Structures are given as C-alpha cells and as structure tokens.
Amino acid sequence: MASLEVPTSPLAPVNKFVKDVVATPDRHPSPQPTHFSVPYKNGNGNGHRVLRSATVGYIAPEFKGKKAQMLQVKGKIEEAAWIPDPMIDEQINWFYNELGIDDVYFQLENVDAIVSHVTSLYAAKIAAFARKDKRDEIRLDMEAADHAIYIDTSEPGISNISGPRYEHRLEKKYLDASTQNSSYRVETFRSPTNLSGTTASKSTMRCYFVYQCMFVDPKAGPTETRLEVIADRMFLAKATKNTKQIYQEIIDLAVSRNGPVIEVFDIEGSKEKRLVVAFRRKTASGMFSALSDLYHYYGVTSSRKYVEQFSNGITVICLYLKPAANLESKKFPPLEDSIHQITKEISLLYCIPQNKFQALFASGRLSLQETIYGHCLWVFVQHFLNRLGSDYASLVSALDKDSSAHVEILSNIKRRLRTETFTAGYIFEIIESHPELIRTLYASFANIHLTLGPGYAEDWVPPAPSAEVLSDKQIGDLITKTVDNEHEEVVMNAFRIFNKALLKTNFYTPTKVALSFRLDPAFLPEIEYPQPLYGMFLVISSESRGFHLRFRDIARGGIRIVKSRNKEAYSINARSMFDENYGLANTQQRKNKDIPEGGSKGVILLDAAHQSKGSVAFEKYIDSIMDLLLPAASPGIKNPIVDLYGKQEILFMGPDENTADLVDWATEHARKRGALWWKSFFTGKSPKLGGIPHDAYGMTTLSVREFVKGIYRKLELDPSKVRKMQTGGPDGDLGSNEILLSNEKYTAVVDGSGVLVDPNGIDRNELIRLAKKRVMISQFDLTKLSKDGYRVLVDENNVKLPSGELINNGTLFRNTFHLRDSGLTDSFVPCGGRPESIDLSSVGKLIKNNKSTIPYIVEGANLFITQDAKLRLEAAGCILFKDASANKGGVTSSSLEVLASLSFDDEGFVQNMCVGADGNPPEFYQAYVKAVQEKIKDNARLEFEAIWREHELTKIPRSTLSDTLSVAITKLDEELQKTDLWKNEKLRRSVLADALPKLLLDKIGLDLIIERVPDNYLRAIFGSYLASRFVYEFGSQPSQFAFFDFMSQRMESVQ
C-alpha cells in the first residue's frame, strides 16, 4: 500500500485543464482553480494516493441472526398473502442478497418494517410491468426520529429534477438539521441491478439509510480531533483501519481551516475514485445534494456515498465516483479530468451550495460558475435596480424642499418606488428566462477577472470562458434584441453595470468561504446618494449577504448583523439594507469629525432561513473581504487576483449590533492569515488582545452624557426633577451605561422585551441592578413599581393599564410607545431601536398645537430619527442634538485604540496594551483608558458649545448645524491633507505633538511613532486635528481671514 506520510515539498496537480469539453456547445468545464489540501506523488502521475480495494470503505459487522430473521419475514409475508407463494423466496433473496444492503440495516430494522419494504418493492415491480411505457420506477420512504430509509430508481449520472428528490428531503430533515445533541449520518449506494433484477433498463435503484449518531463523547470541543473520541460508534465499528486513518488526517486539517478540505484517492484495480470533503457543520447547508448535481454535470455517478458527523462539529462526505456507463461518453471528459474539475469547483459550491439557478445547473444548461454568477447578480440587482429615476429628480426640483408637506409626499413616493417596482421574485423570473444572456455576461466577467499573475505555472491557467467574449456595446445590443420588454432590458443591463464597476473579486480564488466583490461605487445616482462613497464591498454566502461602505480611504466603522423575526421582516430588511448601510456610514463620516478616520459601516443581513447562523456569516464575511485585502502568498490556496483598484487597502472595523462577541475571532484570524495590520484591524476586542471595550468603560455613553448635561447646564435644570424616557434598555451597552451614569427621574424604559412605565419614577436601584447584570426589563421586580406603574411585554396581549386603557398587542405597543403623548417625558434619550423609528410620517404624533410634546432629545442611537423629522421637532421647539454629534465617544475610543496599536511594535503592544492571563491590566493601559475617556468628554464639550453658540447666533436648527460643522471639518480636513502645509516639517511635528496622546509620546517618542504609523494615517491625523480645532473655534462659516489668523498664530508658535 502506498505510504500515507505527507511529502515535505508541495506538489501542484499535474492534470491539464480540460480543453476538449468546450467542443460540446451545451456543456462547458468550469474554470475554477483547484486546491488539494495534501498532494501526494504516485505512479499514476495525478497526485492522488492509492488505496487497496480490500482496505477501502466500510465492513459491516456480521448480523448472526440474519437467517432467522429471513424466516420470520417469510412467515409474515405468507400470512399477509400479498405476494404469490412461488415468488416469496425469490423476492426475499433478492432483497437480502442482491440489492447490496449491509447487515447493519437488518440488525437495526424490525421484521414488520422489512416485510413492508419487500412487499412495497414487489408492488412497484407489478406497477412497472403494468405501465404502458414499461418504466421501472419505485419510490419508497420511511422516516422515524432516529433513522430513515429511502429507495428510488434513477438513471446514473443524471439529476432527476422531477423525481422525489430524496437527497434534498433527507438533507433538509436530517443533515442540515443536525446539531451536536442530535446528528445524523447517511449511507447510500446504487444497486448494480434495476428493479426487475435485469440489466435492460438504464434506471437502477439507489438506497439511502439515515441513522442517528451515537457519539463516543457527545460534548467534544471544536478543537478535539481524536477519532476514538469524536466519532459515531457505528462508524468506528464499520470503518476499515485505512478509512479511519484517512478521516483522521482530513479532520486534523478541517479543524484548523475555515473552508472545505478536499482529498482524492485512486482505488487499486478499480476505475473508481474516492473523493472526501470535510467542513464545519452548519456552514454549507445543501452541500450533499449539490455535490450530486456537480458530478452529474461531468457525466459521473456514485456507487456509494457516506456522510459522517463528528461531535467536534466536523462533517465528512465521502463519494465513490465512476463514469456513468449509460451516458454518451464523448460528451464528457475522461474521469481523471472530470474529477479534477469537480475538485476545483467544490470550493465555489461550498460558498453557495444551493444557488437560485440550481435547476439550470442540474439540467446542464449552465455551468456552476455561470449559475453562481447569476445568483450573485440577482442579489446585486435587488439592491441597485429599484432606483428612483429621472421622473423622481424632476419631482424633487418641482416641489419645495422647505415645505414639510412636500417633503412628506416625496418621502412616501420614494418608499413606494423602492418597494413596488422590482421584487426579488420578479427579478429572479427575468434572469432565469435568459440563460443565454447569463452565459454571455459571465464570459465578459470571466474574461477580465480570470487571470493569474506572473510566476505561476501554465497548468494553473484555466481555459477561456465557454461563450464568445463580446464588447460591452455588443452585449448591450444583444440584450436589446433578446429581451421581450423594458423591464427585462433594465434587469439584464444591470449585469453590465456590475461588470464595469467590479475592481476585484475572490470568485476565482481556489479556497474561499464566501464570494466577495470590490466595486467602484461611481455607478450610484447622485440624486439619491449625494455624498459620494469611496469604496464598496459586496459579500454573498449561503447564509447571508453583506456590504461594507466607506467614505474615505482611511475610514472606520462597526460591523453589524441584522436579524429578521420572520419572512416579512426579512423582505423589509433586504429592501432597506443598502440605504441603511449608506446612512449609517454617512452618519459615521459626520461623527468621525474629530478623528483621522472617515466614516464606514458594514451590514450583514442573515437570510430568512439562517437566523441562528450569525457567527458563521460573520466569519465568512470577514475572511472573504480579507481575500481582497491580502496579497496571495500560497499558489493553489490563495492565487493572485486581478486587481483593477491597484492600491493597497486597509479596512478598520469595530463591533456593532450582534457582533461584539465576534471581534476577538476576527483579530486572531487576521493574525493567522498574516495581516501586518492585525492589531488595528478591529477595535472593541477584548483587553487580552489590547482592546478597550466600549461597554466596560462607557465610552459611547460618556459623549452622550456631555450633551445631556450640557442642556441641563445651559437651562439651569435640576436633573433629578427631569422626567426621562429611554429606548434601549439595561441589557445593552449604551442603555446600561446611560442608566448607570445618569441622575434623572426615569418614567419610561423601552427595550426588546417590552415597556416599563412609572409616572412616579422607576425605582433607580432596581434599574441599576438590571444594568449591572445586563438584562432586559422583563426581569424587573414588579413589586418596585408604584400603584400607577406598569410593564407590558411583547408577548402579552389584552393587558389593562392602571389608567383603564386596554393594550391589545404587546409588540405593537412596544414598537410605538415612544410616539405616545404620555405627558410623562421631559427628556428623551434613544439608546437603541431600529433606524427611522421616528420619520416624517410619524413625527406628527410628537407635536401638539405646533409644540413638541418632548422638550429635549439627545439621539444616542444611530439614525433613530430621520433628518426631516428632526427638523420638524426643532421647528416645534424641541432642543435636539443628533446622533452624529452625541454618540461619537465610541469612535474616538476606537481611533485612539488603533493609534496605540499602530504606534507600538508587537512586543511593546503586548507588554503595554494587552491584559495578561491574571486579568490585571498593565499600568500604561489603565492610564491610557483614562486619557481616552477625558478626550471623549473634551471633544463632546467642544462640539456642544460650538453648536449651541452657532444656534444662538443664527437660529439655524441644531440638527442642520451638526451636519454643517461635520461637513466643514471633513472638507477642510481633506483640503489640508493636500496642501503644502504637510510638507512643513516643523509645523507637521508641532501639530502631531499636540494631536497625539501625551502618554504615547512619552512612552514611544514622536520620531518612532512617525516611523511606524503609515504616512496616510499621519496625514489624516494632521488634517482632522487642525480642521476640527479651527471649526469649533470659528464656526462653520468663518470670515475669509479667520483661517489665515488661525494658521498664523500656529506658525508663530513653531518658529
């Protein structure tokens, strides 16, 4: 037997890429570079290990009661009298000895079930004989909680789309539903004979057996790899020694990898190939049945298939593949080449196992890449097709933007245009009806991005796209000639927009876990997106879709995961996803006025069927974006990509909704993948990795509180007498810290669990208890409420309030409580809630007799109130400070955390910024955190005073002034970075010395910081510091001499 030792030097596969397949017009090879995780040398010259046939697979333990069972089965069949006596022995012998069912089935199944199966199969034979077409056809299934059996007839090498689809059924019911506590393994084989026991028919029988796993150790950890600990007991009893060794090796690899591990083995004395794929459970739903479609596409069938689950979370699929003898062999490449193509495509299949156009692939009309490309464009089109168009632009210019009635009309029209024109289903129907256009558009896409850099062997260069490559104009003409109406033309032309906007993608990277696309956002219409984006990433996986948007090269912002309660909520979230992402990033841009980084944001929307897979979706999102940020360093694993952007990109990210506990993984993963910027990649990481957690130190709340306290200070209010409402409860970061730091009289708190109200003031000690425990108001001790107080939870209905009012629906009450005129609120601080919770259509509920029912609002939560609603509230007398000003404390903390990580080398960073195993933070870390807190409060006070002063002078709404100040600072910042002021070394060093934290300067020194921190980052520090200090002092519309005076004083100080 061939040695199983891993060779010390890597060996690229020596197979040539399939070239003769393109001669067949309806079937094309998929140009997807391959990766063999552990290549081997052998006499076959194909890099596969050779297995002796006697050592391959499984050997079922002998069932010693088999003969006695056969007699019992015979007796029951005779008793039932469904099968003629002369035929009984023949049918039982055929079932027991000729179908290839192993002894485990007979040992586990009871006699009555076996009788039922034998009788059903006989009945199917009679039915087939009676059919006019004489087709041999059987569909038998039996499902139980702990096992299942499916038997079907089908033609080898062909996906029977109109059949019972048993693979999809067992996959959905058992495999994809597997958890650590309840997992299922599958054994399936194709019988060598057909239903009649002859070879006249092309159709043969395939049997599927599903068994619930019985792990040796059901609670094994994710890093445990010992087979004798993590395996199912039946697998250990049946698998040969060689099979166990193979599984052990592939599991060792899979545990340390994010994507699939693929191995191919030759079997001695056989034409069969053994293909083994391992991946993390729950990361590739639909993979088992998708693999069947994949090998059928290349004219290959399987004689046996196994799916094994392991208690450490690894799934291993093992396929025994051979050419389908019943198919015309000249249509397909030789088996060796087919297997090579299949292994190349598994990584792409893993990203999206069941794409929207799977039927076009299963039927052979399009290749795997063409359908997955179509799937990705289906996603793209949904977000960028429902644009408003020239008619909307004309309407905007015709109406008065200062009229609230006109603005409300525009808002409603905009919402309807976005949601009613092209639905996801309608877009899918259009794309599906034009497979030939998908092929042509894919050819254009592949022609640009399917290229490798210099220095890589020719073997790694795939063939040209399967369709003729046309120019963009030719494609446009072809679309016009092919489509039936204007809607179809608009949809298919969106593919052209995508192809032209694409700067780089990991679509052709051999190993990947999701598909990522870096787009030039210039295609976005200015009327809808007046602030131009700098960069856009689109990420698509089987669990989610995601965007990352930024307004500057150096930009910072959090990554959030959006979940949906039901399919309707998902549809709404999907429609608004990009606009919400743009709005969040734009808010971040304005919020980041005091720091070097511009604004960015990432949003991951979980698919409706994958709401529990937030961590899987996040990991795929991060890893696939990193594919486009890091240079390729390992041929066959990460090959060079076509980079039309042509410059180094570094993204700075942080935690947001539903991602706070995933930040450490992202940091460690960046280090594992060799990113030099791993220390600064994510902020909000745990202190052991040098992070400054916002929630632990109340960083965001410190900024919000300065604006709240500023109002009370200016109006000379006693906070203890101010009645306060807060959305976002004691379970959240902002909400809990707001409770802990505040001293107002709380009258209402709204969170995810419901509404808590007490007109006499909610018990402060009980609120503090919840805030410290980080739990919702559902855990509030109701005995602490006064007689007028109440709580209504979202799952409660028909609740009677102390006032006598009846609340029919708790969820609706929670969602709209902040809009009620309760007469209990002086100050409102939104610390949580969905964006646009107060918009132009709902803001009227907060205005009575042209006066705001809430005197003071400080918007802690991002985008809680739309800008037009803010202006209405201010016009009605509300003192309101918007999110971009109030909650910038978190971004200031993040920026200073990044600065420390860039300034220290790895050793200094660990010594001074990383909390050790004993939990004690370094002395420098403690001092630095305090300095960050003071900086946050100083910046907030500066902006508060500037906005208050400007409003007093100009009467311009504070919400407008906030944006005006932000725009003035960011615009001046960008201009300063481009001027010759940066080249003045004395000025540069003087500004940096003032802008950089004194603690860092004392610890590291200015010269070393300048040496270590990237030049474009230092420029950003220089520009943002000068710009913010100037605007805060002189306002957003200073005199033409103000900046000259400001800089003259600065220059004098450095002479």
Active centre residues (catalytic)? 601
CA pair distance 1033, 1029, nearest whole angstrom: 6
CA pair distance 236, 228, nearest whole angstrom: 8
User: Helix H segments across 270-354?
Assistant: 287-297, 335-351
CA pair distance 744, 722, nearest whole angstrom: 6
Measured in whole angstroms, the distance separating CA 208 from the mean position of its chain's CA atoms is 33
C-alpha dihedral sign at 623, 629, 632, 634: negative
Measured in whole angstroms, the distance separating CA 55 from the mean position of its chain's CA atoms is 42
Contact 809/816 with Cβ under 8 angstroms? no
- The first and second tokens of residue 592, run together, are 């980041």
Question: What DSSP assignment string belongs to 361-372?
Answer: HHTTSS-HHHHH
Instruction: At 165, give phi and psi (nearest 5°).
Output: 55, 50
807: β partners: 799
Q: Would residue 56 be called left, alpha or beta, if left means φ above 0 and alpha means ψ between -120 and 50 degrees?
A: beta
Cα distances (angstroms) measured from residue 874 to each of 69, 854, 878, 966:
85, 11, 5, 19
Pairing of strands 827-830, 723-727: parallel
Helices 614-629 + 663-672 axis angle, to 10? 40
Cα distances (angstroms) measured from residue 543 to each of 350, 421, 643, 664:
11, 26, 27, 21
Contact 234/214 with Cβ under 8 angstroms? yes
Across 136-167, b (16+ Cβ under 10 Å) vs e yields bbbebeeeeeebbbbbbbbbbbbbeeeeeebb
Contact 510/592 with Cβ under 8 angstroms? no
Picking from 227, 188, 189, the residue whose alpha carbon sits closest to that of residue 314 is 227
Picking from 317, 296, 346, 325, the residue whose alpha carbon sits closest to that of residue 250 is 317
CA angle, corner 480, sides to 476 and 483, nearest 5? 125
> First-to-last CA distance in the chain?
81
265: β partners: 49, 274
Contact 885/967 with Cβ under 8 angstroms? no
Contact 1050/1016 with Cβ under 8 angstroms? no
Amino acid at 925: Y
The widest CA-to-CA distance across the chain, in whole angstroms, is 114
- Which helix (H) or strand (E) segment is 480 a member of? helix 472-482
Amino acid at 5: E
Cα distances (angstroms) measured from residue 340 to each of 36, 39, 345, 951:
10, 13, 9, 69
How many CB atoms lie under 10 A from the CB of residue 85?
9
Picking from 743, 701, 748, 704, the residue whose alpha carbon sits closest to that of residue 722 is 743
How many CB atoms lie under 10 A from the CB of residue 17?
22
Contact 537/526 with Cβ under 8 angstroms? no
3-state secondary structure at position 28? coil
CA pair distance 691, 927, nearest whole angstrom: 14
Report CA Rg, the chain.
Answer: 33
CA pair distance 435, 427, nearest whole angstrom: 13
Number of H helices, E strands in the chain: 38, 27
